[in-house]
Structure 1
Amino acid sequence: MAPTLSTLRSKLGFAGKSGAWKFLALIFALLNLKSLPFVWHIRLLKGLFTHIRTSVLRLATTPGPSTLFQPLITSSRSGFLECDYNLHKSNSTYFSDFDVGRLELLVSLCGQGIMVTRKELALEEKEGRGQGASGKGTLETRLGGVSCQFRKEIKPYEKFEVWTRVLCWDLKWLYVICHIVKPGIVRPKSYLLQPWRKGRQHEEESNGNGDGNATPSPHPAIFATGIAKYVFKKGRLTIAPERVLRASQLLPPKPGDHESLSPTSKLTPEVTSNNAEAVSADDQKTPKNVEDVVVASLKADLGDDNGQWTWEKVEEERKRGVKIAEMWGALEELNGEFARDGGVALGRY
């Protein structure tokens, strides 16, 4: 005989008035699962182990350089406990979703390359070619800074996507950009590591529409945009991102006449009174240029060129992203503003 509802509630511990409160508490917890203790850690660990396998798959099935600037997409919702008194997603909670997207991207792209670089550095140390005490320890990826710009509110339980991709790199830092966007407005043509997923190209072919430029402007889709920088460290020794990217098979062969970045090199031309006329409009950093770069980061077709990415093409894309990275890096000057006026404060509470 099938158990009655009251019998089932009794077995589950939800009988009586106290049981009703327990049941409501359970429902509330499930509706706010992201905000429960240790769930953030579980999300990171799940992404870590999932994309360790993805990193191996990428090396085995796809041409590396074509995936370097491709976005990785994660999906989520804004739980009630993530919202502030204005009943929209609180600004502090954006960073936890950025954390998950960035970790999954870096493991997917660089997971195997980091392990290869670790082995190379260990061999160099064994052969006496290491950096001494400054290079003691294991190779780590460390977050050096984050920033976020908000465009539109995210309401309670509203679904969103986080598009995360490599923006650029220099001698020390690897810059990663994240967009939180409304789902479904901007869609990829295809998914390189998930060919079974139906992308925009499949829908266009099914509808008899071969226009690859049918995606509308991504401006209305963007809720927020974040940028972060990472550094690869072995003890106090900084490992150039280019080395890790090359070990990850993400860079095409470098021409013999290409100059490597040096500690004193400028990533983009420095405008002075002597060379201002020689710097093109595309190289000058302006708010309009920055917005163009941000929007271009959401282009689903980025890097889809039959895998034919030359070193020159990679460098062109990297330098384009540097326009944002340099302007954001200028905020380091804010450190000099701390305690600038000396001894008077409003109070200590």
Structure 2
Amino acid sequence: MPVDKMASFSALASWRTLAIVFALINLKSLPLSWHVRIFYRMFSSWYTPAHVKRAIQSSSTSNKTHPLFQPVSIFSRSPLLETDYNLHKSNSTYFADLDESRSALMTKFLTPNSKQGVKNLEKEGHKGRTGVILGSVHTSFHREIKPYERYEVRSRVLGWDKKWIVIGSWFIRPARKGKEEVVLASSLSKYVVKKGRFTVAPERCLTTAGWLPAKPENSKSRAGQQANSSEGSEKATQMSTTESYTVPSGVDTPDGLPAPVPEQAVEATTAIVEKLESLAEKTSRQQVDASEPLMPLTALDKAGEWDWHHVEMERVRGLRIAENWLALDKQLLEEYARG
């Protein structure tokens, strides 16, 4: 082979090698890599009703946090193509990692019994495509992430209301020898589940999937209880601690539901739910005392049993964290309307 051709071939091979190496060290940022990562997380996090039952049984026997509030973690690194001119992970790239982390979390909680849930909605006349839609994201950056530094994205459900599922996420530098974990960034996100134009309540989704304990029959607001007839009130006072549970029509629940709890727990939980609803009507200028206890723990709560009331208290506590943030969307729209 002539010398000039050998030189050209050598140069071509060198550039090809460099291109391959460059692609390998930036796989995370290549075209379509985001889609691959998302589908991988969805596939690996797909839960069945059997998975749900085992997770709940495991948490109840080991006195752990209820699976609904346990975090899901992914680990990643920030390649060269994700860095900005300061050689730190670019702010915009945090949201791709959040997509991946939240996809794993939402797939875990919404896929069990999802086909049956869709059928129930269609029987009720709700047509159209079923979708899980991201409503908004807020992220605060605390520490920089250096190129190729390993970090964890830890996401968990904080709470839910009639429309939104609120998720908290944290970028964490794992603990090292002699050093504790370091929070690099924190984030709040909210999701809504839609069937066509119909908004599916998060409580319904989680109950159908089997994550939520059965809701007590008398878990109504105090205002509603006071509006009942005297006959109904007298009947309510005669209820024993062995009263039965009911759930909304069209919502499937798993077997092996927890034992009922005293009526005092129902009253305490409904009181704090009413309190949350009144707080939601306030503007963000009215600050809420975060040190004020939500409600006293019942004997069952102290024993670590995750019944409906204990789950409800944790849901409300999580919503209080995001209360002002949830009200921000409305205020921003109002500010825009003012011109």
Q: TM-score, normalised by structure 2?
A: 0.70
- The match for 2:279 is 270
**What is the rounded CA distance, in whole Å, between the counterparts of 2:187 and 2:203 in structure 1?**
22
Q: How many Å apart are 1:307 and its aligned residue?
A: 8.0
**Pair 56,78 (structure 1): closer, same or farther in 2 beyond 3 Å:** farther
How far apart, in 1, do the equivalents of 2:55 and 2:150 lie? 30
Per the alignment, in what secondary structure is the counterpart of residue 138 of structure 2? strand
Equivalent residue of 2:175, what SS?
Answer: coil
| Contact 2:49–2:210, Cα closer than 8 Å, also in 1 | no
Q: Distance in 2 between matches of 1:146 and 1:281?
A: 22
- Code of the residue aligned with 2:107 in structure 1: it is V
1:338 partner SS: helix
Deviation at residue 23 of structure 1 after TM alignment: 0.5
3-state SS of 1:63 partner:
helix
- Aligned position for 2:159: 168
Q: Deviations over 1:248-292 (max 9, x none)?
A: 11111222221279xx9663553999xxxxx8753499xxxxxxx
Query: Is the contact between residue 113 and residue 244 of structure 1 (CA under 8 Å) also seen in structure 2?
Result: no
Question: Which residue, out of 216, 220, 228, partners 1:255?
Answer: 216
Residue 70 (structure 1) aligned with residue 67 (structure 2) = no
Secondary structure (helix, strand or coil) at the match of 2:109 reads helix
Contact 1:118 1:138 (C-alpha < 8 Å) held by counterparts = no
Quick check: 1:100 aligned with 2:97?
Answer: no
Q: Which residue of 1 aligns with 2:237?
A: none
Q: Which residue of 2 aligns with 1:86?
A: 86
Q: State the alpha-carbon separation in 2 of the partners of residues 326 and 248 from structure 1.
A: 26
**Secondary structure of 2:107's partner?**
helix
Deviation of residue 56 (structure 1)?
Answer: 5.0
Q: Which amino acid aligns with 2:210?
A: Q
**Counterpart position of 1:239:** 200
1:173, 1:229 within 8 Å by CA — same for their partners in 2? yes
**Cα distance 1:103–1:312, how it changes in 2: closer, same or farther (>3 A)?**
same
Is residue 2:27 matched to residue 1:29? Answer: no
Maintained 8 Å contact 2:280/2:323 = no
| Map of 1:6 onto structure 2 | none
Determine the C-alpha separation between the residues in 2 that align with 1:176 and 1:272.
21
1:321 corresponds in structure 2 to 318
SS in 1 for 2:45: helix
Deviations 1:306-327 (A, max 9, x none): 9831111111111111112211
Equivalent in the alignment of 1:154:
145
C-alpha change, 1:271 and 1:120, in structure 2 (3 Å) is closer
Contact 1:144 1:230 in 2 (8 A): yes
Query: Which residue number in structure 1 is paired with residue 112 of structure 2?
Result: 112
Distance 2:332 2:9 in 1: 58
The alignment of Structure 1 onto Structure 2 pairs a total of residues equal to 263
Amino acid paired to 1:62 = A
Listed as ranges, the gaps of 5+ residues in structure 1 are 1-9, 125-129, 186-214, 274-278, 286-304, 342-349
The one-letter amino acid paired with 2:31 is P
> Residue 255 of structure 1 aligns to a residue in which SS?
coil
Q: Between the two structures, name the one with larger relative contact order (CA 8 Å, sep ≥ 6).
A: 1
Counterpart contact for 2:156–2:167, Cα < 8 Å: yes
For residue 337 of structure 1, the aligned residue among 311, 324, 335 is 335
- Which residue of 52, 56, 59 maps to 2:52? 59
Kept after mapping to 2: 8 A contact 1:113/1:246: no
How far, CA to CA, are the matches of 1:102 and 1:272 in structure 2?
Answer: 28
Question: Cα gap change, 1:95/1:280 in structure 2, threshold over 3 Å: closer, same or farther?
Answer: closer
**Which aligned segments of 4 or more residues in structure 1 are displaced greater than 4 angstroms?**
none
Whole-Å Cα distance in 2 between the matches of residues 316 and 19 of structure 1?
64
1:44 aligns with 2:19: no
**Residues 281 and 231 (structure 1), Cα distance of their counterparts in 2 relative to 1, 3 Å cut:** closer
The one-letter code sitting in structure 2 at the alignment partner of 1:315 is E
The residue that corresponds to 2:245 in the other structure is: none
Q: CA deviation at 1:328?
A: 0.7
Considering only aligned residues, what root-mean-square deviation do their CA atoms show, in Å?
3.2
Deviates more, 1:146-155 or 1:246-255: 246-255
Query: Once the two structures are superposed, what CA deviation does each residue of 1:131-159 show, in whole Å capped at 9, x if it has no partner?
Result: xxxx3213211111111011100000000
TM-score by length of structure 1 reads: 0.68
- 8 Å Cα contact 2:153-2:171 kept in structure 1: yes
- Pick which of 330-339 and 91-100 moved more: 330-339
Task: Tell me the secondary structure at the aligned position of residue 224 of structure 1.
Answer: strand
Change (3 A) 1:55 1:223: farther
Residues 73-128 of structure 1 deviation map (CA, whole Å, 9 limit, x = unaligned): 1010011110100110000000000001101111112211433310211233xxxx
C-alpha separation in 2, matches of 1:324 and 1:183: 24
